[in-house]
Structure 1
Amino acid sequence: MYSGKLVMAQLFDHLPMHTFRRCVAKYPSKYPVLKFSHFDQFACMAFAQLTYRESLRDIEICLRAHNSKLYHLGIRGRVSRSTLADANETRDAHIYEDFALALIKTARKLYAGDSFAVDIDNTVYALDTTTIDLCLSLFPWARFRKNKAAVRLHTLLDLRGNIPSFILISDGKLHDIHVLDHLIYEPGSFYVMDRGFIDFSRLYHLHNAQAFFVIRAKKNLQYRRLYSQPIDKETGLRCDQTIVMTGTNTQNSYPVPLRRVKFYDAEQDRLFVFLTNNLDLPAITITQLYKSRWQVELFFKWIKQHLRIKAFFGTSENAVRTQIWIAISVYVLVAIVKKRLHIDASLYTMLQALSLALFEKSTINQIVENIGDEPCESVNSNQLNLFD
């Protein structure tokens, strides 16, 4: 019988604690740390994510029920609702942002060799935004509309492994196109976006960075066709054109030729028009790249369903950002553990199993293997399995 560490302690063993301490040192705080350290805060919030806790009091009661085991998880301080609330309000959320980004860097290396649905060697990113609705009276700093508040999660997802490589948390007023100003483009990589990100001056900057984009065109696009490539209409393609912009502003914003690909999706009975600055790939590959963008939609739906980012434990901007970044850290941590331990089960299965076994003394592999994927499939055939 296994008599080693608790399951939650095994998870925490995969955390780079030297990196965590550097993040803490980077943002000094006057809030006392001797009685309740930064890692105490992180561990409590991670526990809330892994076990789907509903409130700070819920966290306090559940952790105190295992009070004798908390020391083995690295939690040295006394867990209380007020202490955790004060830490979330006071300690700089950038600590957990930097730590999450460090975990993302580790995870991307582990998943870099994963296969991709499209036969292409380039790195492919999907860029999209999701909105998390809030109550305006409780979150006045996040005003979105006249009677509504929201925060927006702008995410650049690496489609090899579905690991977010860039995340920006903003209030509801930030338009999608401004997210492009925060990106550092990788030469040779593809950036797949919906038409909400169309801004030709910014796309031209991406082009000059020697990166590629695939984006849906708007209906009012003004252009002139230079020539057309032959196509096979049986594949769903309707045209493959090289064009130049003729709009009053767009011809100056994007002065070089673009590629326009029209595709008919028989399943949805819809026509799609894509723009790209890549003139070499087959037109059907361009359509496949855009179709792969759906993975970022699944990512948003997945984290909203399985992590605590729709109901918040604090109402300040710092508390909200802290909770979101720790939720992302938990998502990436479980992905790292899945890859390092060579676990075949889906991420959903792992989280469901771990949520009930954090204080058991079994190996993570044993916990997951005892469950398998079949019960999850029978409950919901549409379950999102990002890591299958």
Structure 2
Amino acid sequence: MFDGQFVFTQLMHFLPRREFNACVERYQGQRRERGFSCRDQFLCLAFAQLTYRESLRDIETCLRALEPKLYHAGFRGQVSRSTLADANRAHDWRIYSDFAQILIRRARRLYASERLAVDLEQTVYALDSTTIDLCLSLFPWAKFRRRKGAVKLHTLLDLRGSIPCFIHISHGKMHDLLVLDQLPIEPGAFYVMDRGYVDFARLHRFTQHSAFFVTRAKRNLDATRRSRRPVDKSLGLRCDQTILLSGPKSSRLYPDPLRRVAFYDVPTQRRFAFLTNNFALPALTIAELYRSRWQVELFFKWIKQHLRIKAFYGTSDNAVKTQVWIAVSVYVLVAIIKKELRLDRSLADILQILSVTLFEKTQLFEALSVKNPPVSEQAFPNQLKLFD
């Protein structure tokens, strides 16, 4: 039977408390609590993400208006703008990064049976980055241009469920392909990325780890054709070749054969050339795999529209990374709730509902489920009929 807890309290019950405490202990987050713990900080910033708060003052004003309810919602520290600012500066962002990874592993298990756009049993990842503009005078560590600051979110997205499983936050000047040095490579998985990641020494790591990549070939690719396979041009395919790199440097960095698939997209009237180290899949599947990379672009658009990652509550490196990782945790938490409660609503709809029901005493499933109340045929039994 429902015990009358707030929606926010029920939501936080989906977070593993023991694992969170282990992350705090790992980075000694309790050493600088001063009456405002890492959990209090997480709850405040999660509330800010779920209710679209714009600033620390906004968070403080709203939470103090709910002060009689905060203890029952899990808050233990006194919420104030200065205390939250100190926590954003002092509490190690890696606490929330490690905790987000725990939630990500849980979400990936829940979405492991989701269907892909292509018929594959292997895991498919899409790799890309997005840039968030910042004021250079307020964020001097985030150098991007001469008079402009920015941070980059380098993201590896599991296309089953659109779950971000790897995120690296850097200043805006970091080149995209450098993140390949930090990328965990899973044997047998497919990694789909655009041609900004074409670096043959780094791509060869995928082959060495028995993983597969799909990317676009650059126009000045220096290669010789070893063999070719027949293709059905009515499907848009133009060629399917096995090639060897011919450049003096590229041939040394990637000595193994590569597969080149050319595809013509009729709606856009554009020709694409793809490179991959997989020789078993049909050529059309390679083209469809690259088309599925668009999901990571949709993910970036979604989080910028529905989460607070374009304006930050602190100006330090630690505060920015803390806010991003808590935003990721909230996104993954909503995805977990959607799956575990078997909700038919979209993630955006769930966030919209949560934003106005967090401190209502309603059962979480009832608040988020699609309700279609029955329409009575005789709504006003005493109403006389005008027409027979």
> C-alpha distance in 1, partners of 2:29/2:346?
39
Q: Summarize deviations over 1:226-275 as a string: whole Å, max 9, x none.
A: 11110111100011111000012111111111000000111111111100
Given residue 103 of structure 1, which amino acid in structure 2 is its aligned partner? L
Matched, 1:340 2:340: yes
> C-alpha distance in 1, partners of 2:198/2:346?
35
> C-alpha distance in 2, partners of 1:156/1:68?
41
Given residue 256 of structure 2, which amino acid in structure 1 is its aligned partner? V
Question: TM-score, normalising length from structure 1?
Answer: 0.94
Q: Summarize deviations over 1:273-296 as a string: whole Å, max 9, x none.
A: 100000110000000000000000
Matched, 1:169 2:169: yes
SS across alignment from 2:103 = helix
Question: Structure 1: where are the runs of 5+ without partners?
Answer: 373-388
Matched, 1:39 2:35: no
By how many angstroms is 1:369 displaced? 2.5
Does the aligned pair in 1 maintain the 2:200–2:254 contact within 8 Å? yes
Q: Summarize deviations over 1:10-38 as a string: whole Å, max 9, x none.
A: 11000011010011111115764252111
By how many angstroms is 1:222 displaced? 0.6
- TM-aligned CA distance change 1:60 to 1:174, over 3 Å: same
SS across alignment from 1:140 = coil
SS across alignment from 1:230 = coil
By how many angstroms is 1:178 displaced? 1.0
Q: Summarize deviations over 1:146-174 as a string: whole Å, max 9, x none.
A: 11111100010000111011111111121
Aligned to 1:112: 112
> C-alpha distance in 1, partners of 2:239/2:180?
28
> C-alpha distance in 1, partners of 2:2/2:166?
39
SS across alignment from 2:166 = strand
Given residue 51 of structure 1, which amino acid in structure 2 is its aligned partner? T
Residues 350-361 of structure 1 aligned to structure 2 (within 5 Å): 350-361=350-361
Aligned to 1:8: 8
Root mean square deviation, CA, Å: 1.3
Question: Structure 2: where are the runs of 5+ without partners?
Answer: 373-388
Given residue 144 of structure 2, which amino acid in structure 1 is its aligned partner? F
Aligned to 2:79: 79
Aligned to 1:308: 308
By how many angstroms is 1:7 displaced? 0.6
Does the aligned pair in 2 maintain the 1:31–1:87 contact within 8 Å? no
By how many angstroms is 1:184 displaced? 2.0
> C-alpha distance in 2, partners of 1:4/1:30?
31
SS across alignment from 1:240 = strand
By how many angstroms is 1:76 displaced? 0.7
> C-alpha distance in 1, partners of 2:3/2:30?
40
> C-alpha distance in 2, partners of 1:117/1:281?
15
By how many angstroms is 1:337 displaced? 0.9
Does the aligned pair in 2 maintain the 1:237–1:284 contact within 8 Å? yes
Given residue 19 of structure 1, which amino acid in structure 2 is its aligned partner? E
- TM-aligned CA distance change 1:371 to 1:350, over 3 Å: farther
> C-alpha distance in 2, partners of 1:292/1:305?
21
Aligned to 2:138: 138
Does the aligned pair in 2 maintain the 1:31–1:90 contact within 8 Å? no
Given residue 269 of structure 1, which amino acid in structure 2 is its aligned partner? Q
Matched, 1:191 2:194: no
> C-alpha distance in 1, partners of 2:257/2:223?
10
SS across alignment from 1:132 = strand
> C-alpha distance in 2, partners of 1:368/1:26?
35
> C-alpha distance in 2, partners of 1:29/1:237?
55
> C-alpha distance in 2, partners of 1:149/1:140?
7
Given residue 90 of structure 2, which amino acid in structure 1 is its aligned partner? T
Aligned to 2:249: 249
Given residue 6 of structure 2, which amino acid in structure 1 is its aligned partner? L
Does the aligned pair in 2 maintain the 1:124–1:189 contact within 8 Å? yes
SS across alignment from 2:167 = strand
Residues 1-388 of structure 1 aligned to structure 2 (within 5 Å): 4-29=4-29, 32-33=32-33, 35-370=35-370
Larger-Rg structure: 2
> C-alpha distance in 1, partners of 2:79/2:234?
63
- TM-aligned CA distance change 1:163 to 1:29, over 3 Å: closer
Given residue 363 of structure 1, which amino acid in structure 2 is its aligned partner? Q
Given residue 75 of structure 1, which amino acid in structure 2 is its aligned partner? F
> C-alpha distance in 1, partners of 2:32/2:274?
54
> C-alpha distance in 2, partners of 1:82/1:42?
16
